[in-house]
């Protein structure tokens, strides 16, 4: 069986641009008869089939960016969208937002629908189900068809594209070290299952802080939540799991939560159990959102700078979209930009 090839591979083999290959396959009169025949013969020989994610051609620019986010209620994602829109509008682009709802199928459908002539490129954060399944074919197909992607926050190293992330390990480490310096001896972490990349990295930061301070982490103090979409049932289950954490570890005096929902829920449960905050229990969370500022007491948080992430992601994508033809044919070099986090101290720590 002959191997299947992509537009990108055909372009490389024949030393022409992806745009030229696509036009030749559609019998465009812009391409010489000789080049058309050569491209079509090569494509036939290697069993090329047009991908189900369409190519956005240079002569068909929409000046629109597609954004795919896992959830709409998260303050962090709304700040990222604000940053993307700010830069996109300045540079003459519009944005369309698609929602995966943490679903692999919805992520794929959104990308297929938007890539089919609606947009020029994607900025996205990967759904939890996609990370769990480790099926990234829709990203690879999109890139191979000449449509650039920029990933942010939840990213995977296997996909060759530009990425914008925060230093999750360093941010978590900073948070746990703050609790240690405040005198906490038994610090628990409320995190996600390891397939969620950011949760895994923040757990790593927690463990590194322990190691550097010659402390021994206890397995009973690490609570990994099977995260689902927000619902009353899920929130009830979350409360029960956190309550069990406290009841099984009565000496907990510090909590590091990988997101503000976990932290606010931990505060609610702790107060129900009669713990004073920050006198008996100190709490720090990742994500400096609305919940953090308005919880009682207000939350000490690791700020991710969502708007800055969005601005940088938009610049990276638009810069790649506006590369001229000669630059496009050179070997692609992708950039991973790391945004520094800050610790914002509020009432949940001493």
Render pLDDT for 56-74 as a digit per residue (tens, 0 to 9): 444 467 899 999 999 887 8
pLDDT over 60 (residue 142) = yes
Report which of 113, 155, 152 is spatially closest to residue 130, judged by C-alpha positions: 155
Q: Over range 135-157, report the average pLDDT.
A: 92
Largest CA distance in the chain: 81
**214, 204, 209, 131: which is closest to 173 by C-alpha?**
209
Question: Among the ranges 226-230, 269-273, 291-295, which has the highest mean pLDDT value?
Answer: 269-273
Mean pLDDT, rounded, for 15-35: 85
Predicted confidence (pLDDT) per residue in 154-205, tens digit = 999 999 999 999 999 999 999 999 999 999 999 999 999 999 899 999 999 9
Distances (CA, A) of 173 to 152, 219, 228, 286: 21, 18, 26, 11
Full 3-state SS string of 185-197: CCEEEEEECCCCH
3-state secondary structure of 284: strand
pLDDT at site 234:
80
Sign of CA dihedral 21, 25, 29, 33: positive
pLDDT at 1 over 50: no
Using alpha carbons, list the distances in angstroms from residue 292 to 236, 237, 259, 296, 303.
Answer: 20, 21, 10, 9, 10
The confidence score (pLDDT) of residue 7 equals 78
Average pLDDT (325-330) is: 48
Mean pLDDT score of the chain, rounded to an integer? 89
Phi, psi of 50, deg, nearest 5: -55, 135
Q: Quote the pTM value.
A: 0.81
**Element holding 222 (H helix, E strand):** strand 222-225
Q: 169: Cβ–Cβ under 8 A, 6 or more apart, which residues? A: 201, 202, 204, 205, 208
Q: CA separation (Å) from 218 to 204, 221, 249, 274?
A: 14, 5, 10, 24
Higher pLDDT, 203 or 19: 203
- CA 94 → CA 41, 183, 320, distances in Å? 38, 50, 16
Half-sphere exposure of 237 (CA within 13 A, CB side): 11
């Amino acid at each position: 069986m002959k191997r299947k090839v992509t537009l990108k591979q055909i372009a490389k083999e024949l030393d022409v641009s992806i745009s030229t290959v696509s036009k030749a396959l559609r019998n465009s009169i812009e391409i010489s008869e000789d080049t058309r025949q050569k491209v079509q013969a090569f494509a036939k020989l290697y069993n090329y089939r047009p991908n189900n994610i369409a190519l956005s051609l240079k002569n068909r620019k929409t000046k629109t960016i597609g954004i795919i986010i896992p959830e709409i209620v998260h303050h962090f994602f709304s700040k990222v969208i604000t940053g993307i829109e700010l830069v996109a509008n300045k540079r003459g682009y519009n944005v369309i937002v698609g929602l995966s709802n943490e679903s692999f199928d919805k992520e794929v459908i959104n990308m297929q629908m938007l890539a089919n002539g609606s947009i020029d490129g994607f900025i996205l954060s990967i759904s939890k189900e996609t990370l769990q399944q480790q099926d990234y074919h829709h990203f690879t197909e999109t890139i191979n068809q000449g449509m650039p992607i920029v990933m942010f926050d939840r990213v995977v190293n296997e996909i060759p594209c530009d990425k914008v992330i925060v230093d999750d390990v360093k941010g978590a480490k900073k948070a746990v070290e703050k609790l240690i310096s405040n005198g906490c001896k038994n610090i628990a972490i409320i995190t996600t299952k390891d397939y969620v990349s950011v949760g895994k990295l923040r757990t790593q930061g927690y463990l590194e802080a322990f190691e550097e301070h010659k402390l021994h982490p206890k397995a009973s103090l690490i609570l990994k939540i099977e995260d689902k979409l927000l619902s009353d049932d899920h929130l009830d289950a979350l409360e029960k799991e956190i309550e069990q954490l406290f009841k099984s570890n009565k000496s907990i005096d510090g909590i590091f939560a990988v997101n503000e929902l976990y932290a606010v829920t931990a505060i609610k449960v702790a107060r129900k159990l009669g713990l004073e905050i920050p006198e008996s229990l100190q709490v720090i969370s990742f994500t400096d959102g609305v919940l953090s500022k308005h919880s009682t007491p207000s939350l000490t948080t690791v700020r991710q700078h969502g708007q800055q992430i969005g601005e940088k992601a938009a610049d990276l994508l638009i810069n790649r979209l506006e590369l001229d033809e000669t630059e496009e044919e050179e070997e692609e070099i992708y950039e991973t930009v790391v945004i520094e986090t800050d610790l914002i101290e509020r009432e949940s720590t001493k």
